[in-house]
Amino acid sequence: MIQITDLTKSYGKFKILDKLNLTIDAGQVYGLLGKNGAGKTTLINLILDLIEKDSGSIQVFDTDHRQLEKSAKRRIGVVNEDLALIEEISGYEFLSFVGKIYKIPSETLKKRINDLFAYFFEDPADLKKNIAKYSTGMKKKIAFCAAVIHTPDLLVLDEPFSGLDPFVANQMITFLKKYHRNDRAILISSHDLSYVEKVSTHIGVLDNHQLVFNSTLGNFTENGANELDAALLGLLKPNESEIEKIDWV
Amino acid sequence: MIAYLLFIRLKGYFLGLKNPMNIGLTLLAVIIAWLYGWALAGIINKAYLGDMGSTTPQSVINFSLVAIVGFVMLRMIFPRYKPQRQYLPKFYPLSRFQHYLLSVVSDLTKPLMVGIALFISICCMYLYDSKITFLLLELSTLITAQLLRRLVQYGLDYRKKSLGNALFVISWVIPALLMVNYTFSFQYIRILSLFLPLYLFTIGYFLELTILENRKSQMAGGTKNSNLYLKLLINNPKARLILFFGIGFKSFLLVGDFYMFRSKGKHMFDGQLVYWIFASPLLLFTYVFNNVWGFWKEIWLNYELRTGSYKEMTHFVSRLLVLPVLVDALITLPLLLLTWDLSRFILLFYVVSLLFLIAFSFLWSLLFPMSVITSFQMRGNSSFVSSMVSMVAVVFLSLLKLNYWFYILIPFYLFLSYMAYHYSQDFYRGKKYNLYNKLQKG
In angstroms, the separation between the Cα of residue B305 and the nearest Cα of chain A is 7
8 Å CB contact between B431 and B362: no
Provide the shortest C-alpha distance from residue A164 to chain B (in Å): 22
Selection from B171, B136, B131 nearest residue B150 by Cα: B171
CB contact under 8 A, B308 and A52: no
Cβ atoms B216, B111 nearer than 8 A: no
Distance from CA of A248 to the nearest CA of B (A): 38
Q: How many helices (H) and strands (E) does chain B have?
A: 20, 2
Q: What are phi and psi of B213, to 5 degrees?
A: -155, 160
- On chain B, the residues whose CB falls within 8 A of the CB of A76 are 305
Alpha-carbon span B381 to B384, nearest angstrom: 9
> What is the interface pTM, i.e. ipTM, of the complex?
0.91
Of the candidates B394, B379, B381, B361, the residue with the CA atom closest to the CA atom of residue B241: B381
Distance CA A222, CA A234 (A): 12
Residue of chain A minimizing CA distance to B299 = A86
For residue A60, which residues of chain B lie inside 8 Å, CB to CB?
Answer: none
Decide if B223 and A80 are in contact by the 8 Å CB cutoff.
Answer: no
Single-letter code of the amino acid located at B250: K
Any A CB within 8 A of B229 CB? no
Using one digit for the tens of pLDDT, what is the confidence trace for A96-110?
999 999 999 988 998
Sign of CA dihedral A126, A128, A129, A131: positive
pLDDT value of residue A178: 92
Name the more confident of B79 and A104. A104
Report chain A residues whose CB lies below 8 A from the CB of B312.
101
Q: Which of A190-204, A234-248, B244-258, B423-437 has the lowest mean pLDDT?
A: A234-248
Cα angle A3, B440, B294 (rounded to 5 degrees) comes to 120
Using the predicted structure, report yes or no on whether residue B288 has a pLDDT greater than 60. yes
Chain B residues with CB-CB distance to A109 below 8 A: 223
Q: Which of A153-157, B176-180, B278-282 has the highest mean pLDDT?
A: A153-157
- Is B305 an 8 Å CB contact of chain A? yes
Asked if the Cβ–Cβ distance from B433 to A89 is below 8 Å, we say: no
Candidates B216, B223, B439: best to mutate against A (most CBs of A within 10 A) is B223
CA pair distance B322, B342, nearest whole angstrom:
25
Question: For residue B192, what pLDDT is reported?
Answer: 62
- Whole-number pLDDT of residue B220: 38
- Residue B4, pLDDT above cutoff 80: no
B301 at interface of A, judged by CB pairs closer than 8 A: yes
pLDDT digits 0-9 by tens, B165-199: 777 777 676 666 666 665 555 555 566 666 778 88
Residues 6+ apart with CB under 8 A from A197: A31, A217, A221, A228
B231 and A51: CB-CB below 8 Å? no
* Residue B299 to residue A93, Cβ atoms within 8 A: no
Q: Give pLDDT, residue B216.
A: 40
Mean pLDDT lowest for which of A173-177, B151-155, B275-279, B313-317? B151-155
Distance of residue B77 Cα from the nearest chain A Cα, in angstroms: 15
What pLDDT is stored for residue B218 in this prediction? 36
Report how far apart the first and last C-alpha atoms of chain B are (Å, whole number).
53
Judged against a pLDDT cut of 90, whether residue A123 lies above it is answered with no
Nearest CA in chain B to A70: B307
Ramachandran region, residue B238 (left: φ > 0; alpha: ψ -120 to 50; beta: rest): alpha
Write the residue in B216, B231, B308 that is nearest to A88 by C-beta. B231
Q: Which residues of A touch B (CB under 8 A)?
A: 48-52, 66, 68, 70, 73-74, 76, 78, 80, 82, 84-90, 92-93, 96-102, 106, 109-110, 113, 127-128, 130, 132
Backbone φ, ψ for residue A140 (5° rounding) = -60, -45
Q: What pLDDT shows up at residue B161?
A: 72
- To the nearest whole Å, the CA of A232 is away from the closest chain B CA by 31
Nearest to B306 among A49, A73, A96 (CB): A73
What per-residue confidence (pLDDT) applies to A1? Answer: 86
Determine the distance in angstroms separating the CA of B266 from the nearest CA of chain A, rounded to an integer. 44
How many angstroms separate the CA of residue A221 from the nearest CA in chain B? 34
* Residue of higher predicted confidence among B226 and A83: A83
DSSP conformation letters of chain A: -EEEEEEEEEETTEEEEEEEEEEE-TT-EEEEEE-TTSSHHHHHHHHTTSS--SEEEEEETTEEGGG--HHHHTTEEEE-TTTT--TTSBHHHHHHHHHHHTT--HHHHHHHHHHHHHHH-S-GGGGTSBGGG--HHHHHHHHHHHHHTT--SEEEEESTTTT--HHHHHHHHHHHHHH--TT-EEEEE-S-HHHHHHH-SEEEEEETTEEEEEEEHHHHTTTTTS-HHHHHHHHH---THHHHH----
Helix (H) or strand (E) holding B194: helix B189-209
Q: Do B223 and A101 touch (CB under 8 A)?
A: no
Query: A136-150 burial by CB neighbour count: b if 16+ within 10 A, else e?
Result: eebbbbbbbbbbbbb
B40: left (phi over 0), alpha (psi -120 to 50) or beta: alpha
Residues B249, B33: Cα–Cα separation, whole Å? 25
Q: Which residue of B has its CA nearest to A83?
A: B298
Asked if B217 has any chain A CB less than 8 Å from its own CB, the reply is no
- Mean residue pLDDT of chain B comes to 82
pLDDT range class, residue A246, cuts 50, 70, 90 = confident
pTM exceeds 0.80 for this model? no
Under an 8 A CB cutoff, do A97 and B437 touch?
no
Proportion of chain A above pLDDT 90, given as a percent = 48
| Overall average pLDDT of the B317-344 stretch | 89
Predicted confidence at residue A230, as pLDDT, reads 73
Interface test with chain A among B226, B228, B306, by most A beta carbons within 10 Å: B306
| Of B74, B70, B52, nearest in space to B62 by CA | B70
pLDDT for res B269: 72
Under DSSP, is residue B382 helix (H, G, I), strand (E, B) or coil? coil
Tens of pLDDT, residue by residue over B203-257, are 888 888 887 655 443 333 333 445 788 888 888 888 888 888 888 888 888 888 8
pLDDT value of residue B16: 65
